[in-house]
Amino acid sequence: MRAYRLKFSIEEVRVGAGAEGNLLRALRYGDELSGTYVVPSSTWKGVFRRVSENLYGHSSAVHDGAGVGDEVREALEALRKKLKDARTAEERRRVSYEVLSRLGEVGAVMRHSFPLGQAEGSKVERFVGEMAKVAEEWTCPLEATYGTLYFAGAVTFSDSVLRPLEVSLTSHVSMDRSTGRAAEGNLFQEERVRVGSVYVTVVLRREDVTLELWRNTLRYMAYVGTGLGSGKSRGAWAVLDASESQEAEITLRRPEWRKLSLG
């Protein structure tokens, strides 16, 4: 398991928090006077996943269960036969536990994701087919890193507390694309937080599956950067500052932080 303290250089940022009339607010915790502007962990996860998808290729459409390894394929075939032979819900749960326990963590994910006591008749084929997809997703670097409907991802992000240099309102107008002119009644203001930099802490697990894609994602963010928050065409472009970022291996001892390596 690894931890990262990442610094991003960014001119200004606004994570949307809804509108008050024609004013688009930036997200903050607390009230207007004493509140704290933030970039939430969910925003970071979406930003990183978008970059990783561009590098790896979006994989949600390719997982059909055909790419599982021999061990999983043999176990699921055995489970299919045992479920069809089982006569009671208790027996179906018992044989499911016996077979899936041999598959370690991914077997545990399957046991907790499907009501296998109800796997009878036509449900057997559907459940077993879905479990094959889960097993394939489990070994996919993209899905393993960011998670799926059935299991949590291997990466966890912190919220980022912003330290504003300035908070300002900028005026904009929506354009009518059919005429190329300003749309009537669509003048609005946007709250922008000028920061210069923003920090996020990240924890990464399952390095055997995720580390290569994660490092490629960090390289891209250092060399190219990525949009962060709303208004990506108006200055909210974040670039990873590798020279000011750190990483550490997590053990039972105090982490020993070192400069982030992109190698």
Listed ranges 27-41, 106-120, 142-156; the one with the highest mean pLDDT: 142-156
Task: State yes or no: pLDDT of 17 exceeds 80.
Answer: no
Domain finish residue from 93, 115, 139: 139
218-226: average pLDDT: 96
Tell which wins on pLDDT, 237 or 21: 237
At 185, the pLDDT band (50, 70, 90 cuts) reads low
Length of the chain: 263
Check: CB of residue 6 under 8 Å from CB of residue 240: yes
User: Does residue 145 lie within any of the structural domains?
Assistant: no
157-177: average pLDDT: 75
Domain finish residue from 116, 139, 162: 139
Mean pLDDT of the chain: 85
Spell out the long-range contacts of 65-70 with Cβ–Cβ below 8 A and sequence spacing 24 or more: 65/129, 65/130, 65/131, 65/132, 65/133, 65/135, 65/136, 66/132, 66/136, 67/136, 68/132, 68/135, 68/136, 69/135, 69/139
Give Cβ neighbours of residue 23 (< 8 Å, ≥ 6 apart).
169, 188, 189, 190, 191
Tell which wins on pLDDT, 168 or 137: 137
Same domain flag for 183 and 133: no
Same domain flag for 55 and 75: no
Residue 233 is predicted with a pLDDT of 47
Residue 232 is predicted with a pLDDT of 46
User: Does residue 253 lie within any of the structural domains?
Assistant: yes
Same domain flag for 167 and 50: yes
Check: CB of residue 191 under 8 Å from CB of residue 169: yes
Q: CA 149 to CA 155: how far, in whole Å?
A: 15
User: Does residue 158 lie within any of the structural domains?
Assistant: yes
Q: What percent of the chain has pLDDT over 70?
A: 81
User: Does residue 23 lie within any of the structural domains?
Assistant: yes
Instruction: Read off φ and ψ for residue 242, nearest 5 degrees.
Output: -65, -30
In this predicted structure, which of 73-82, 116-125, 171-180, 202-211 has the lowest mean pLDDT? 171-180
Tell which wins on pLDDT, 58 or 232: 58
User: Does residue 65 lie within any of the structural domains?
Assistant: no
Residue 116 is predicted with a pLDDT of 82
Beta-strand (E) ranges in the chain?
Answer: 2-13, 16-20, 23-26, 28-29, 36-39, 155-157, 160-161, 166-176, 181-204, 226-227, 237-240, 246-249, 258-259
223-243: average pLDDT: 82
Q: What percent of the chain has pLDDT over 90?
A: 55
Task: State yes or no: pLDDT of 150 exceeds 80.
Answer: yes
Same domain flag for 173 and 235: yes
Predicted model pTM: 0.83
Instruction: Determine the residue type at 209.
Output: V
Same domain flag for 220 and 252: yes
199-208: average pLDDT: 96
Task: State yes or no: pLDDT of 261 exceeds 90.
Answer: yes
Beta-strand (E) ranges in 40-165?
Answer: 155-157, 160-161
Task: State yes or no: pLDDT of 120 exceeds 60.
Answer: yes
Task: State yes or no: pLDDT of 41 exceeds 50.
Answer: yes
Same domain flag for 115 and 30: no
Same domain flag for 173 and 103: no
Number of domains in the chain: 2
